[in-house]
Structures are given as structure tokens and as C-alpha cells.
Structure 1
Amino acid sequence: MNSNSKMKMHHQRGATLIVVLIMLVLITIMGIMGIRTAMTSLNIATNSQVGQLLSQTGDTPSNYFLNVSDYGHLTQITTAVGQAIALHKASPGKEVVFCYKPTSKEIVDSAFDTTVLIPPDETVASDTKATIDSVYNNRSGFCDLTKDFGSSREAVVTQVAVKVISEPSAAIGADLERGSDQSVGATVAKDKVEARIRITSTAIMPSFSRNNIEEIQKCIGSSATVGYINDNLAKELKGKQTMAGCLVGKGVPVSTQVQEMEMRSRDIQVEAP
């Protein structure tokens, strides 16, 4: 074999090697792109599942209150709603917060496991935290992000705030009794609105945040610190930082749901006055 034939074979081998290397690079690039696409799709699916789980969990406390048929029990001073109504009569604007723990042996919404928060004044900075009532200074109403989960999956923690709505949400006279005629002796049913209650439920998934639990807990509150208010819908609290807003700022997935209820007592007139 002459030298020209040897040189041609070397060129062919070199060209083949370059082609193989290029193909390997292309395959690698395509593989990386495929992995990224799969990870993106998985991330989207995960985000969707997280949102659905938070929404379902956050709705549970509201359903609990709506399904309590015993008006007397719901408005007892030993419950969160009853405590909020009693506090409102003496000092409007306070929040009664508790941790919704359906798997716990503790009674749901018991006043013995609530914390009473006083919202910041209208004139102070928007990021001012709440203060704890000096009389009802129990701190057990704050959820512990390390253990107060709503199910055995230990994924979601739910903080609930109960507040009596101070400002009227309807026209003057809207709460007056209807269908009553006390000038006659007929039996007449009368409805009277005792209070308007606003329930704010915030479902929290702490494991998805890159911040440490201690830092996230500061948004909620604990035995050592006080967190932010949950409800800033009142006119004087517009723009004030909330617990949910603080958590979102720290990258924690949350879902907040607000439910308003009218507490009505029903009397029966059995004889003319």
C-alpha cells in the first residue's frame, strides 16, 4: 500500500470520528432538553396539585362552622365565635385566632386554645405586627408549623381567624326584623342579626419553602413572638401586612379563604304584648 492510500485512510477515520462526536453532542443536547421539559411538566403538575390541596384544606374550617346547627353552642363564650362576639361588645376590632387541628384530641375552636390579637393602629407602618391582648394573653392559638398538621400526611397547616365585622355591609335598616306583627296575637317568627362574623382560613404548606421553619414561624407567631394579623379587610386596616402576605414573601405556598356569616337568633311570638 502506497503512502497516498495510507493518508486517505487516516483522513477517512478522522472524518468518521468527528461525525460520531458531533452526533454524541447532539444526542446529549437533546437529552438535556428532554430532561428539562420533563422537569418543567412535573413542576407544573406539582404546583397544580399543591394549589388544589391548599384550596381544599383551607375550605374545611369554613364548612365546619357552617355545618354547626346548634346556634347556642356556636355562640358560647367557650368557642372562638362566642369569644369574638363577647370581645367585640367591649372592644371592637380584635381577632380571635386558633389552629385548625381535626386530627388532634383537642376540641376544635375551643376558646381555651385561642389567641386574641389586637390589630396595629391605622397610623403606624404597614408592616407593623399585631399585639396580644393583655387580658386574654394565651398564645396557644398560633399553629406550630412542625406538628400542627391537618392530616396524617403532615403537609398542610391551617390557621384560622374569627372577627366580628365592625363596619356595616348593608343599608340602614337591613338588619331590622321582617315578617313580625306584634299588634296581633298570632304566632310570628322573627329573625334578628346578632353579629356578622368573618372567618379567614389560611392553609400553609411550609415544606415547600427554602426558608427555615423558625423564620417562617415569625409570620404566624409562637410562644416567643407575635405574628401579623390575618384579616385586613376593615377600612382602617387597608394595606396592612397580613400573615399570608408575610408567608408569600418568604416563598411559602398558601391559600387564604374568607367566609362571612350572619349570626341570627330566632324568636317566636306566642301572644300579643
Structure 2
Amino acid sequence: MKSNQHGATLIVTLMVVLVVTIIGVLAIRIAMTTLNISTNAQLNQFLSQTADTPINQVYTSDLSTMVDLSGAIGYALEDNKIEPGNEYIFCYRPTSSEKFGASFNVTTLRPPVKNAAANTKATVAYGGASGFCDLTKDFGSKREAVVTQVAVKIPSGALEDLPPGAMLARGTTLSGGTILPKNLVEQQRVRVTTTAIVPMYANDVDAAQACIGTDATKPGYINDNVDEDTKGKVTVAECLADLGVPVTSQVQEFNLQTLFEQIQAPD
């Protein structure tokens, strides 16, 4: 009888140990899941902030230097008159002393034709390899964490397709009696797409680089598929996301207004 009691005690002890082990494993899994969710949220926030930085730089830059031919936006506006629909890409390199979006670092991409397959890559119309980000070295800081590809495009959609008031300047309130300036002579739309990437999480950096492209012989996908002609085409961000690479893309459209200002009274 005494030995039977010892056997029952051993079984109960083993059951308790098993239950405690299961509870411990579940607690660890829950903690790991919570940590992963928290890490992903922090990473997404970091990527969003990084992708937003070049857009903010467009906001804060001297417009006169942005629209001249030495800058990506000015180059895009001028080249669009000759061959509309192209995409003008450059790598955001804030640690470099070169001008932000300098035209000599711009590569002009020609998007695939409208009836091409969705996964058709772009072709290089002008420029070399300088416009493509290198995922092994073109980091935005010394932390070597994020690489940001920037694309500029002049929208091809008709102004009539825009929602009412989309082309009004900031501070314009028609309901309050504020009207468009009489000296407004021209309005131009410019769309900027930024793609922030964390290469260290890529299982295959070469495959991730192929999404972006390297040069005229190995171009990547387009960055902007908003227009009707490119709708449904695979973008760099979509390609990277399919590979499991953390990526965030942001799109901002600007309305550039040209005003005629008389600085000297006529004789």
C-alpha cells in the first residue's frame, strides 16, 4: 500500500511538471508574438518617417533650385514635354554632399506599355546606373539600416479627372471669398513616390536588388503605377514585399504654380 502511494505521488508530480511546462511554453510564445508585433510596428513607423523625409525636403527646398534643369523635378518637367509618361528616379543619399535630386544622378525609366503583362519591368530611356539605389551601400545614415528610392513623375491624367479644388493653392478658400490669384499663368502637377527599404531583412539581397534594378541592362520595376496607363503594373515596393523585405511607399502630388509678378512699373 505504501509503495502504491509513492507511485501515485510520482504521477501527480509529473503531471504538475507537464502542466507548468506547457504554461511556460505558451507564455514564451505569447511574449515572442507580442515582441514581434511591437517590433513590426516600430519598424513600420521608422520606414514611414524615412520615406517621408525626401518629400519633406521637396516641401522645404528652394523652389527655384528644384525646378531648374539641375534638379530632378525641373529635368522631369522639361523632358516630359518631349516624352511624357516617363519616370525619373534617383537614390536619396542624405550623407552625400551632392545636391538633393541632382539631375546628373537621375535615371529616366520608360514604363511598360499599357497592354504589357503586369510583371513587365521598365526600360532605361536615359541615364546610367546612378539613379538606382544600391542596397549594400546607399544607406540614409551611418546606421546602415534604410535605403530610400525616389521617383518623380509628371501625372498624365486630365485635370478634369481630379476632385474639385485639387489644384487650389494652400490658403485658397473659395467659400470664404478667396479666389485664385489673377497673376497665375501656369499650373503643373508633379508626383513624388518614395520607397523606403530595410535590406538587412532580405533573404536574398540580389533578388531584392533586381526589383529596383542596377543599370540600363538590368532595370527594375516602376515605382509609380497611379496613372491609367500603368495601373496594375508591379512596382518596386510590391516586388520587395513579395520577397518579404520590409518596405514602405509614400506618394505625394505637388501643384507648382507660376505667377507673373511685375517688379517695376512700365515707363
Shared fold (TM-score, shorter chain, > 0.5): yes
Q: Please identify the structure whose Cα radius of gyration is greater.
A: 1
Compute the TM-score of the two structures, normalised by the length of structure 2.
0.88
Please give the alpha-carbon distance, in whole angstroms, between the structure 2 residues aligned to 1:169 and 1:52: 33
Aligned to 2:2: 9
Aligned to 2:111: 119
Aligned to 1:192: 185
Residues 27/178 of structure 1: CA separation in 2 closer, same or farther (3 Å cut): closer
- Is residue 140 of structure 1 aligned with residue 140 of structure 2? no
Q: Deviations over 1:198-239 (max 9, x none)?
A: 000111112223x21001110001135210001111111111
- Is residue 73 of structure 1 aligned with residue 65 of structure 2? yes
Q: Is the 8 A contact 1:193 1:262 kept in 2?
A: no
Helix, strand or coil at the partner of 1:73: helix
Please give the alpha-carbon distance, in whole angstroms, between the structure 1 residues aligned to 2:257 and 2:200: 41
Helix, strand or coil at the partner of 1:236: coil
| Deviation for aligned residue 1:76 | 1.3
- Is residue 156 of structure 1 aligned with residue 146 of structure 2? yes
Q: Is the 8 A contact 2:149 2:196 kept in 1?
A: yes
Aligned to 1:166: 156
| Deviation for aligned residue 1:196 | 0.9
Structure 2 counterpart of 1:83, one-letter code: Y
Residues 179/112 of structure 1: CA separation in 2 closer, same or farther (3 Å cut): closer
Structure 1 counterpart of 2:104, one-letter code: F
Aligned to 1:63: 56
| CA RMSD, 1 decimal | 2.2
Q: Is the 8 A contact 2:67 2:74 kept in 1?
A: yes
Q: Is the 8 A contact 1:57 1:158 kept in 2?
A: yes
Structure 1 counterpart of 2:220, one-letter code: G
Q: How does 1:199-218 map to 2 (within 5 A)?
A: 199-209=192-202, 211-218=203-210
Q: Name stretches of at least 5 consecutive residues in structure 2 with no aligned partner.
A: 169-178
Please give the alpha-carbon distance, in whole angstroms, between the structure 1 residues aligned to 2:255 and 2:180: 15
Please give the alpha-carbon distance, in whole angstroms, between the structure 1 residues aligned to 2:22 and 2:53: 47
Aligned to 1:233: 226
Helix, strand or coil at the partner of 1:201: strand
Q: Name stretches of at least 5 consecutive residues in structure 1 with no aligned partner.
A: 1-7, 181-189
Helix, strand or coil at the partner of 2:24: helix
- Is residue 21 of structure 1 aligned with residue 14 of structure 2? yes
Residues 247/191 of structure 1: CA separation in 2 closer, same or farther (3 Å cut): same
Please give the alpha-carbon distance, in whole angstroms, between the structure 2 residues aligned to 1:257 and 1:86: 24
Residues 103/179 of structure 1: CA separation in 2 closer, same or farther (3 Å cut): closer
Q: Deviations over 1:228-261 (max 9, x none)?
A: 0011111111111111111111111211111111
Compute the TM-score of the two structures, normalised by the length of structure 1.
0.86
Q: Is the 8 A contact 1:164 1:198 kept in 2?
A: yes
State the aligned residue count.
252
Q: Is the 8 A contact 2:224 2:235 kept in 1?
A: yes
Q: How high is the sequence identity, in percent, across the aligned residues?
A: 46
Q: How does 1:85-104 map to 2 (within 5 A)?
A: 85-104=77-96
Residues 179/44 of structure 1: CA separation in 2 closer, same or farther (3 Å cut): closer
Helix, strand or coil at the partner of 1:124: coil
| Deviation for aligned residue 1:27 | 1.1
Structure 2 counterpart of 1:72, one-letter code: S
Segment of structure 1 superposing worse, 149-158 or 124-133: 149-158
Please give the alpha-carbon distance, in whole angstroms, between the structure 1 residues aligned to 2:87 and 2:219: 13
Residues 230/55 of structure 1: CA separation in 2 closer, same or farther (3 Å cut): same
Q: Is the 8 A contact 2:106 2:127 kept in 1?
A: no
